[in-house]
Structure 1
């Protein structure tokens, strides 16, 4: 049975995928039935059958009309997605949003945010948070660990005679290149630009600035730890 499901997965992913033969048959059957139900939820929400959008239990999606997708999109159980923004949400093929993760595109109804875009084969780990008011873009084949947070705007706080909450915000946006790995519990702040083939260590805080590709970064604030040489 694992061979049958491996063939289905490989066809869906358009790349070789083999399920471990020791996975119990009962687990595979339950997994398959769950995916069928998730697919039906996706059809009900997006009214698109060919896109193959899978939506888990207790997922909340707001402003779905502002979401454009490729094929094979997964919103795991407990996700929260609010696409209200100027550019909306644009997802490539094989996008995955982990259990309990959130994507919020606008911080206040007074000013619409910019939005979020992801290339092909992007995976976002469970319980991550993406605040996309200033715009967040992630290129192909980049993966995020669990509990990663991104904040694409900052509160102004220079004046002492006005409460911080009334001083407005600044927005530079966040960009992450191709084939990056963002470790668990990393925080990426507004203005960060991360190049291709970069690794951000778990727990790192990436502040505004340019981070060249082919390198590993870690620490608070994040600094270059080593280069990655082919």
Structure 2
């Protein structure tokens, strides 16, 4: 059975995949049953997909016509997705949303947001939050830890005579390149551009600006610690 699963998974993922020999057969059978149920939810979800969409329990999806999923996309248990936006949500091939990921594409009914595009082979960790009003782009092969938040929107506050909540917002958008690693509990603010190959240390605050390729950044606010190479 293990050998058969290895062949199936390698074919689906487009590369060699080996299940750890320490994993009990009973666990594999339980996982196989769970994934089959998730696939059935995805099949009947009405979300446009390239094939094999897996949806977990207690998942909320709004404006599902605005979502386009690639092949082998997993939306894990407890996720909340509101895709109301001008460009919608695009998830590439082999994208995984961890448990309780929240994606909100519009900050309010007064201003419909832009949305989010996620490349291929991307893992979004559990309890991540994506506020996509100003648009978020994530490149291929990028991985993220848990409890990360993206905020692609800023409130105006320069007028002392008007409450901040009534001064409107600005949108610059957030861009994350290919092959990046963003550590747990990092916060990414509107206007940040994280170039290819960057590592963002856990707990960092990434403000508006350009973070050059292959840099390791950390701190509050995040600064360059060193280059990877």
Map residues 18-97 of structure 1 onto 2, 5 A cutoff: 18-46=18-46, 51-97=51-97
Q: After superposition, what is the alpha-carbon deviation per residue over 1:184-226, rounded to whole angstroms, capped at 9, x for unaligned? A: 0000000000110000000000000000011100000000000
**How much has 1:121 moved relative to structure 2?**
0.6
Q: Which is worse superposed, 217-226 or 44-53?
A: 44-53
Q: After superposition, what is the alpha-carbon deviation per residue over 1:89-120, rounded to whole angstroms, capped at 9, x for unaligned? A: 11110011100111110010111000000111
Q: After superposition, what is the alpha-carbon deviation per residue over 1:149-200, rounded to whole angstroms, capped at 9, x for unaligned? A: 0000011111122111111001100000000000000000000001100000
Whether contact under 8 Å (1:2, 1:20) holds in the other structure is no
Q: Which residue in 2 is equivalent to 1:171?
A: 171
Q: After superposition, what is the alpha-carbon deviation per residue over 1:75-100, rounded to whole angstroms, capped at 9, x for unaligned? A: 00000111100000111100111001
**How much has 1:46 moved relative to structure 2?**
2.4
**How much has 1:15 moved relative to structure 2?**
1.2
Q: Which residue in 2 is equivalent to 1:119?
A: 119
Q: Which residue in 1 is equivalent to 2:128?
A: 128
TM-score by length of 2: 0.97
Q: After superposition, what is the alpha-carbon deviation per residue over 1:16-61, rounded to whole angstroms, capped at 9, x for unaligned? A: 1111011011110010010000000001112668611000000011
TM-score by length of 1: 0.97
Q: Which residue in 2 is equivalent to 1:219?
A: 219
Q: Distance in 1 between matches of 2:50 and 2:150?
A: 31
Note the aligned Cα RMSD (angstroms). Answer: 1.1
Measured at CA, do residues 84 and 49 of structure 1 come closer, stay the same or move farther in structure 2, by a change above 3 Å? closer
Whether contact under 8 Å (1:2, 1:23) holds in the other structure is no
Q: Which residue in 1 is equivalent to 2:209?
A: 209
Unaligned runs of 5+ in 1: none
Unaligned runs of 5+ in 2: none
Aligned pairs, how many?
Answer: 229
Which contiguous aligned blocks of 4+ residues in structure 1 show a shift greater than 4 angstroms? 47-50
